[in-house]
């Protein structure tokens, strides 16, 4: 090794730091295992839980200067250690001990240890999302529209173009419609000889518009208008200055909202502020809408990003829908879970309904609030400790709850924590939204698919051009798989590297 005395001193200092980091990580892991031991029933999940504890311990520290210091030595700078945290630290310590000639405390880890995490993740992905025909790493989930009930050709096209999982959003339609959707998917599955999973998502305690009352004919609202969120229609004449009076699915929370609070309607389409509050409801001033004006319809989400409500994760209606899903779905999704306690209540209700079989059914945890992101590790430990588990980055509500700017950071953090726990992730909402609604994609949404290719699944929402959306995602994924796997850029030989010769 051609290094001077000063540089050797730096290497010895690095070794001290990395040895300490490794020891702290193992100590914190032992503490966390003791805390969670009783909840971790599934043997298969134990190595993943252990790696998650290692990773969380690493990520509780700011390691940026250590990373910088490792790079000149040609050593791992810890930027891709999610699925192999302790093996990476072992390898670093062992190599630094070789370089400095220090006493050996750690041996080089067996190469197989670096592949265990990715192999478990691939196995979990196959078990929950099924195989892929196209050999792409990332699966495609598509949301079935109501029209899928009587249009076999539409469903056939989705399967033919590469849909691996059909998503049924139980916030809309009913059991009769869902039954028909499932029959169509099963028919397409037979026709193309492909396995397609059915995922049914429970609505959860999502607050929505219920009725919309107005004296005008089909009015649009714009910035500067006022609207009313109200308990009932009987006082309608009292608000002549309001363009609409809107009811909501959970009117009891109105009492908890404060004046000046932000209220967001329809996934961010309408942004308002509370200007008046009384026993009947709230008067809202609209300060921004998507475009120059827009309609507010029933069944649209209402978010109060600054408030936290203690709503039960399984409203009564969901318990009924859950019984249906337990009979028909391959994956069951739950919306607006906040923490491990919510996950436990879901698991208990599933077990109450179908007994031991409940533990075999894959749960999809939709992460759509900042609170759920904060509690992600414990949601995963509780969920995967008993059930096969996948996680959805539900960006529709999450963006509204955390603000657009923070979304970019949170969607990555969710991916990293899930990778450390070998949990498959679904990159969801507004993927190729323009293509799916209008037939032409924006440039930025192509990049979004490339970014989503680091997830195990990409979800598409409803729209007229959904089959084209599925095909476009599949084709972008086919290109992307040569260049990037999770966080790692793959060095396929580049055509443009020859151009100057
Ligand atoms: N049957 C339906 N009746 C009324 N609105 C619907 C229906 N199906 C979907 N929508 C609306 O269409 C849009 C796209 O629905 P999709 O299920 O793809 O997305 P989503 O964001 O998961 O929906 P939601 O937020 O309503 O649960 C949403 O605004 C949804 O509210
Ligand atoms: C999918 C969903 O519920 C969301 O993005 O909010």
C-alpha dist (Å) from residue 295 to 146, 212, 267, 351, 437: 21, 10, 13, 42, 17
User: 167 alpha carbon to ligand 2 midpoint, in Å?
Assistant: 12
Atom of ligand 2 nearest to the CA of 392: 1
Split at pLDDT 50, 70, 90, the class of 369 is very high
Is 397 touching ligand 2 by the criterion CB < 6 Å? yes
Burial of 112 (0-12, 13-18, 19+ CB in 10 A): exposed
Q: Which of 207, 318, 394, 436 to mutate to test the pocket of ligand 2 (most atoms within 8 A of CB)?
A: 394
List pLDDT tens digits, range 37-59.
999 999 999 999 999 999 999 99
Q: How far apart are CA 408 and CA 448, in angstroms?
A: 11
The whole-number average pLDDT for the span 419-429 is: 98
- Strands 165-169, 226-230: parallel, antiparallel or unpaired by DSSP? unpaired
Take atom 1 of ligand 2 and give the residue whose Cα is closest: 394
Distance from C-alpha of 244 to C-alpha of 419, rounded to nearest angstrom: 46
Tell which residue, 471, 449, 450, 470, has the closest CA to residue 461. 470
- Round to whole Å and give the CA distance between 350 and 393: 23
For residue 430, which atom of ligand 2 is closest to its CA?
5
Give mean pLDDT, residues 159-168. Answer: 97
Say if ligand 2 is within 6 A of residue 396 CB: yes
Residue range 77-118, pLDDT digits in tens: 999 999 999 999 999 999 999 999 999 999 999 999 999 999
Q: Is 428 in the pocket of ligand 2 (CB under 6 A)?
A: yes
Which residue did the predictor score with more confidence, 309 or 15? 15
pLDDT above 70 (res 226): yes
pLDDT number for residue 153: 97
**Per residue in 362-394, is it b (16+ CB within 10 Å) or e — as a string?**
bbbbbbbbbebbebbbbbbbbbbbbbbbbbbbb
Does residue 232 have a pLDDT over 90?
no
Homologous superfamily of domain range 208-303: PK beta-barrel domain-like (2.40.33.10)
Ligand 2 atom index nearest CA of 267: 6
Report how far residue 412's alpha carbon sits from residue 159's, in angstroms, rounded to the nearest whole number.
Answer: 29
Per-residue pLDDT at 3 exceeds 80? no
Nearest atom in ligand 2 to the alpha carbon of residue 398 is 6
Neighbour tally for 305: CB within 10 Å: 16
- Percentage, residues of the chain above pLDDT 90: 86
H-helix or E-strand containing 488?
strand 488-489
Considering every ligand atom, which ligand is closest to the CA of 402? 2
Given a contact cutoff of 8 angstroms between Cβ atoms, the answer to whether 165 and 139 are in contact is: yes
Q: What percent of the chain has pLDDT over 70?
A: 99
CA angle, 434 as apex, 429 and 439 as ends, to 5°? Answer: 130
Average confidence score pLDDT of the chain: 95
DSSP letter at 61 equals S
Residue whose Cα lies nearest atom 2 of ligand 2: it is 394
Pocket of ligand 2 contains residue 368 by CB under 6 Å: yes
Q: What is the pLDDT of residue 1?
A: 47
pTM: 0.94
Please report which confidence band the pLDDT of residue 134 belongs to, taking 50, 70 and 90 as the band edges.
Answer: confident
Question: What CATH architecture does domain 122-205+311-488 belong to?
Answer: Alpha-Beta Barrel (3.20)
- Residue-wise pLDDT for 467-501, tens only, equals 999 999 999 999 988 888 888 888 888 888 988 88
Q: For the segment 166-182, what is each residue's pLDDT rounded down to a tens digit?
A: 999 999 999 999 999 99
| pLDDT on residue 236 | 67
Confirm if 461 and 429 have CB atoms less than 8 A apart. yes
136 lines ligand 2 (CB under 6 A): no
The ipTM estimated for the assembled molecules is 0.84
Q: What one-character-per-residue DSSP string does 259-289 give?
A: TT-EEEETTTTEEEEEEEEETTEEEEEEEEE
Which DSSP helix (H) or strand (E) runs through 341?
helix 340-354
pLDDT of amino acid 334: 98
Task: Using CA atoms of 423, 461, 247, 176 in order, give the dihedral in degrees to the nearest 10.
Answer: -90
pLDDT digits (tens, 9 = 90+) for 309-362: 889 999 999 999 999 999 999 999 999 999 999 999 999 999 999 999 999 999
pLDDT surpasses 90 at 271: yes
């Amino acid at each position: 090794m051609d290094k001077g005395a000063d540089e050797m001193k730096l290497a010895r200092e690095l070794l001290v730091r990395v040895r300490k980091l490794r020891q702290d990580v193992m100590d914190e892991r032992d503490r966390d295992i003791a805390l969670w031991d009783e909840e971790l029933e599934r043997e298969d999940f134990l190595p993943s839980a252990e790696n998650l504890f290692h990773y969380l311990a690493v990520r509780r520290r700011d390691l940026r200067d250590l990373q910088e210091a490792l790079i000149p030595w040609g050593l791992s700078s810890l930027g891709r250690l999610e699925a192999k945290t302790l093996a990476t630290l072992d390898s670093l310590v062992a190599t630094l001990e070789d370089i400095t000639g220090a006493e050996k405390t750690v041996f080089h880890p067996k190469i197989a240890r670096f592949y265990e995490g990715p192999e478990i993740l691939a196995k979990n992905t196959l078990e929950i999302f099924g195989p892929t025909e196209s050999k792409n790493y990332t699966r495609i989930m598509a949301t079935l529209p109501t029209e899928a009930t009587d249009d076999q050709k539409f469903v056939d096209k989705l399967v033919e173009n590469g849909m691996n999982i059909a998503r049924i959003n139980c916030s809309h339609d009913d059991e009769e419609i869902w039954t028909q959707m499932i029959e169509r998917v099963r028919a397409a599955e037979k026709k193309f000889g492909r396995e397609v999973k059915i995922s049914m998502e429970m609505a959860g305690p999502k607050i929505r518009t219920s009725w919309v009352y107005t004296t005008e004919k089909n009015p649009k609202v714009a910035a500067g208008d006022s609207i009313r969120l109200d308990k009932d229609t009987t006082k309608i004449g009292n608000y002549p200055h309001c363009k609409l009076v809107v009811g909501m699915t959970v009117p009891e929370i109105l009492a908890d909202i404060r004046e000046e609070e932000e209220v967001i309607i329809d996934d961010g389409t309408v942004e308002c502020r509370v200007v008046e509050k009384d026993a009947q409801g709230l008067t809202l001033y609209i300060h921004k809408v998507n475009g120059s004006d827009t309609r507010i319809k029933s069944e649209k989400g209402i978010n109060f990003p600054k408030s936290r409500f203690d709503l039960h994760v399984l409203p009564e209606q969901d318990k009924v829908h859950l019984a249906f899903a337990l009979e028909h779905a391959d994956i069951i999704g739950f919306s607006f879970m906040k923490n491990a306690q919510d996950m436990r209540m879901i698991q208990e209700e599933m077990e109450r309904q179908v007994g031991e079989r409940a533990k075999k059914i894959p749960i999809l945890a939709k992460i759509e609030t900042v609170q759920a992101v904060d509690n992600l590790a414990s949601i995963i430990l509780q969920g995967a400790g008993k059930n096969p588990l996948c996680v959805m980055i539900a960006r529709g509500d999450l963006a509204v709850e955390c603000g657009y700017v923070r979304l970019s950071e949170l969607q990555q953090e969710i991916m990293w924590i899930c990778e450390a726990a070998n949990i498959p992730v679904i990159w969801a909402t507004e993927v190729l939204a323009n293509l799916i609604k209008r037939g032409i994609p924006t440039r930025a949404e192509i990049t979004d698919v490339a970014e989503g290719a680091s997830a195990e699944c990409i979800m598409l929402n409803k729209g007229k051009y959904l089959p084209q959306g599925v095909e476009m995602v599949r084709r972008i994924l086919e290109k992307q798989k040569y260049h990037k796997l999770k966080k790692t850029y793959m060095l396929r030989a580049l055509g443009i590297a020859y151009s100057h010769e």
